[in-house]
A and B are shown apart, each in its own frame.
Chain A
Amino acid sequence: MAKKSETKFEDALGKLEKIVTQLEEGEVSLDNSLKIFEEGIQLSRLCAKKLEEAEKKIEILTKTKEGKITKRPFELKDE
């Protein structure tokens, strides 16, 4: 059930890890290393973006008798 349309965070992180190890092993040709380096940088930017994506929001549901549910901001002192 991939909620996010583009690549999921976990997959991007996994690919990034593979690229880093590949470069570290060193048997990569020059142009190839350039290509996967580039891909690695993009993946790291994607992961960072996903981490910052959700803004801080705290909401609480209110439920009417008929079962209608609405969201509204929640403050701790709220009763």
Chain B
Amino acid sequence: MFNEKRVYKISEINKIVKDVLEASFSNIWLEGEISNFKFHTTGTMYFSLKDEEAQISAVMYKNIASQLRFLPEDGMNVLIRGKLTIFLKRGQYQVTVYEMEPAGKGALQLAFEQLKERLLKEGLFDEDRKRPIPLLPQKIGVITSPTGAAIRDILSVIGRRFANVEILINPVRVQGDEAPGEIVKAIGEMNKNFPELDVLIIGRGGGSLEDLCAFNEEEVARAIYNSRLPVISAVGHEIDFTISDFVADKRAATPSAAAELVVQNKQELVNTIRSYRSRLENNLRYIFQSYKSRFQRAKDSIIFRKPFELVNQLQQELDNLTDRITQTITRFIEIQRGTFNLFAEKLTVLNPLAILGRGYSVTYKLPENKILKDTGNISLGDRLKIKLYKGEIISTVEEKQEVK
């Protein structure tokens, strides 16, 4: 290649670089953080992958993107497999992604958390919408595998407690792709064909996250939410929490716990009723006793034993009272008479006219009717009235004598 200048056209050089890149980086794994993620309406996903220093743009075409089990989001750390290439039109260096997994937590775990978040926001887990489990569930629908550990545990608990409960099993797969659909169908069947059921127990025995994933499916969650019959979710072991646990009306840690719940209520109720029964009887006996003793006390009281005694006593009391009354009255009269006489005597003594009785008389000058004490102020011919002890005399002055 002597010094003749070799001049490339742009499209030519881009094409060459694209081939070189694709040849040497046709199948590589990259890890990075997603940013400026765009999910195009055509189904293609455009985003970039970055680490602390650098960034590369990435593209995931529809056929791959649609199979993702989770929705990529900005800030999410992911592991991708793909090939390096050039977007010829704009000479842009990018990676075409064939496979993507969340780095750290697996896809399933992430899907679980995203769904949980979404359903929580939608209110499917709200406590107040949860239906109460009937106090005495006796017709129980069980949706689980007919051969799994769950039904065995449930029946053994019920058997041990020889509880008379009716169990109706709706056999379903609890694992694998058909499981969610079967569970949803079973919930529908139980609600539609067997409304007399008191409660539904839905669950399975223990297993890995993958084994339990049927109970993390949205369609199962919605079927539980919409079930008219209250639902007890009993999936896996104590530590396993699935979406159906959150949305169910009651979560039992394990299938046997669900059975315990049902049968244990019944035992408790039997005892409560027995205790009410005895308290009823004791109380009635107590009430009877108290009335009886009240009645007894009344009967023994003196009034009934010697009825006349009281009468006599009262009679005597009455006589006593009347005597006292008469005494006081007579004494009272004596006193009154006494005082009266006293007054009368005083009166007579003080009576100015009493002296007349001894011959004196009182002379009044008429017509003024004034008592006369000396002859000074009368004259001959005046008329006088003389009041005697008994009667009065009207007279005229004929003669008067001055007394010096």
- Give the residues from 165 to 195 in chain B that come closer than 8 angstroms, CB to CB, to chain A: 165-171, 189, 193, 195
Shortest beta-carbon distance from B98 to chain A in Å: 39
Shortest beta-carbon distance from A38 to chain B in Å: 10
Q: Residues 314-327 of chain B: 1 if any A CB is under 8 Å from the residue's CB, otherwise 0?
A: 00000000000000
Q: What residue in chain A is nearest B266 (Cβ atoms)?
A: A51
Q: What residue in chain A is nearest B279 (Cβ atoms)?
A: A20
Q: Residues 242-281 of chain B: 1 if any A CB is under 8 Å from the residue's CB, otherwise 0?
A: 0000000000000000000000001001101100110110
Q: Residues 39-59 of chain A: 1 if any B CB is under 8 Å from the residue's CB, otherwise 0?
A: 011001001101111111111
Residues of B within 8 A of A19 (CB): 280
B287 within 8 A of A: yes
Contact of A37 among B152, B195, B228, B284 (CB under 8 A): B284
Contact of A26 among B162, B195, B287 (CB under 8 A): B287
- Give the residues from 44 to 79 in chain A that come closer than 8 angstroms, CB to CB, to chain B: 44, 47-48, 50-61, 63, 69, 71, 74, 76, 78-79
Of A41, A54, A76, chain B has the most CB atoms within 10 Å of the CB of: A54
Check B273–A51 contact: CB distance below 8 A.
yes
Q: How far is the CA of A59 from the CA of B155 in the complex (A)?
A: 12
Answer whether A54 and B164 are a contact pair too, CB < 8 Å, given A26-B287, A44-B277.
yes
Q: Residues 279-322 of chain B: 1 if any A CB is under 8 Å from the residue's CB, otherwise 0?
A: 11001101100110000000000000000000000000000000
Answer whether A56 and B163 are a contact pair too, CB < 8 Å, given A13-B272, A16-B273, A33-B284.
yes
Residues of B within 8 A of A50 (CB): 136
Residues of B within 8 A of A76 (CB): 151-152, 155
Check A59–B193 contact: CB distance below 8 A.
no
Shortest beta-carbon distance from A51 to chain B in Å: 6
Shortest beta-carbon distance from A74 to chain B in Å: 6
Check A59–B169 contact: CB distance below 8 A.
yes
Check B171–A9 contact: CB distance below 8 A.
no
Answer whether A60 and B277 are a contact pair too, CB < 8 Å, given A28-B287, A51-B266, A54-B139.
no
Answer whether A56 and B168 are a contact pair too, CB < 8 Å, given A3-B196, A44-B280.
no
Shortest beta-carbon distance from B194 to chain A in Å: 9
Check B169–A74 contact: CB distance below 8 A.
yes
Shortest beta-carbon distance from B144 to chain A in Å: 11
Q: What residue in chain A is nearest B155 (Cβ atoms)?
A: A76
B44 within 8 A of A: no
B146 within 8 A of A: yes
Check B284–A47 contact: CB distance below 8 A.
no
Check A20–B276 contact: CB distance below 8 A.
yes
Shortest beta-carbon distance from A63 to chain B in Å: 8
Answer whether A16 and B171 are a contact pair too, CB < 8 Å, given A24-B283, A78-B146.
no
Shortest beta-carbon distance from A1 to chain B in Å: 8
Q: What residue in chain A is nearest B141 (Cβ atoms)?
A: A61
Residues of B within 8 A of A9 (CB): 135-136
Q: What residue in chain B is nearest A44 (Cβ atoms)?
A: B277
Answer whether A55 and B166 are a contact pair too, CB < 8 Å, given A13-B135, A16-B276.
yes
Residues of A within 8 A of B135 (CB): 9-10, 13
Residues of A within 8 A of B290 (CB): 26
Contact of A51 among B147, B155, B196, B270 (CB under 8 A): B270
Check B273–A61 contact: CB distance below 8 A.
no
Contact of B169 among A47, A52, A60 (CB under 8 A): A60
Q: How far is the CA of A19 from the CA of B287 in the complex (A)?
A: 14
Check A59–B136 contact: CB distance below 8 A.
no
Listed A/B pairs (9) with beta-carbon separation below 8 Å: A20-B276, A26-B290, A33-B284, A47-B269, A48-B270, A51-B269, A51-B273, A59-B166, A60-B171
Complex A-B, nearest 8 residue pairs according to Cβ-Cβ distance, in ascending order: A54-B138, A23-B283, A60-B169, A56-B164, A57-B166, A40-B280, A58-B167, A37-B284
Residues of A within 8 A of B (CB): 1, 3, 9-10, 13, 16-17, 19-20, 23-24, 26, 28, 30, 33-34, 37, 40-41, 44, 47-48, 50-61, 63, 69, 71, 74, 76, 78-79
Known: A1-B195, A54-B166. 14 other contacts (CB 8 A): A3-B198, A13-B273, A17-B276, A26-B287, A28-B287, A44-B273, A44-B276, A48-B273, A52-B164, A58-B167, A60-B146, A61-B189, A69-B193, A76-B152
